[in-house]
Amino acid sequence: MNDERKELEEQVFKWIEIAEEDLILANHTFTLSSNIPYRLICYHAQQCAEKYIKAFLVSRLIDFL
């Protein structure tokens, strides 16, 4: 595997890793017994989706900045 391909894969997996952290947090927040902060759950779910999209764009060599 060439260095460029390896770097690309690392970037894709990094975005996925960060997306998973947002998803874990959103899912965990649902387990609270009271005062569930739905606004924050929505925020982290939206952040998760954005990061998965960024991973896809990186994998297709599409600049999103």
Over the chain (65 residues), the average pLDDT of each successive run of 10 is: 91 98 96 95 98 98 90
- Cα angle, residue 58 at apex, residues 14 and 43 outer, rounded to 5°: 60
pLDDT of residue 1: 66
- Cα angle, residue 36 at apex, residues 26 and 22 outer, rounded to 5°: 10
Residue 61 corresponds to which tokens in the numbers above?
């060599």
Taking CA atoms, 48 is separated from 9, 24, 52, 63, in Å, by 19, 9, 6, 19
pLDDT of residue 64: 86
